[in-house]
Amino acid sequence: MFKSLDKTLNKIYKISGYIAATFLILVAVFIIIGISSRIFGFYIRGLAEYSGYCMASASFFALAYTFVEGGHIRITLFLEKISGVKKWLMELWCLIIASFFSGYLAFYFIKMLIISYKFQERSEGADEILIWIPQTSVAIGSTIFFICVFHQFILNIKKKI
């Protein structure tokens, strides 16, 4: 059962990485459209805001995939100097702290999303988009990141048992 869950979660992390890449492509498209629209003498309102929303979405969706692939800055400088049980305990401690903070982050992004939806808050940009729409991707990305960190914590415990 755990192998099936592990495979499913790893697929979710990979899909999250693809979604992040898609948002990065959208950032580039919005920037190119914005530049070319100025060259040809017309202006499309809200492109800068949409580019920013896509960048935030890309950042948060990329967190889990990058963490699993080992792309985040880690404490390997310290971990290389220790071995055995001490190394395992240090990794465990770091994953506990990371799980706590990523869970805290995900909780408050979800809470912010719910409040924005409840009050129908709008952006201050020219397009006045409902702000919960871009916040949804940030909340989902941070939740996937929390699941990823906690998953690595469980895998670390399972490695020693």
What are the pLDDT digits (tens) for 127-136? 788 999 999 9
**Across residues 56-66, what is the average pLDDT?**
95
Q: Considering the chain, what is the average pLDDT of its residues? A: 91
What are the pLDDT digits (tens) for 23-44? 999 999 999 999 999 889 888 8
Question: How does residue 60 score in pLDDT terms, banded at 50, 70 and 90?
Answer: very high
pLDDT of residue 43: 82
Retrieve residue 8's tokens. Answer: 């499913």
pLDDT of residue 38: 87
CA distances from 121 to 50, 113, 125, 133, 139 (A): 16, 10, 12, 10, 16
Question: How does residue 71 score in pLDDT terms, banded at 50, 70 and 90?
Answer: confident
Q: In this model, does residue 75 exceed pLDDT 90?
A: no
**Which residues, 6 or more positions from 23, have their beta carbon under 8 angstroms from its beta carbon?**
54, 55, 57, 58, 61, 137
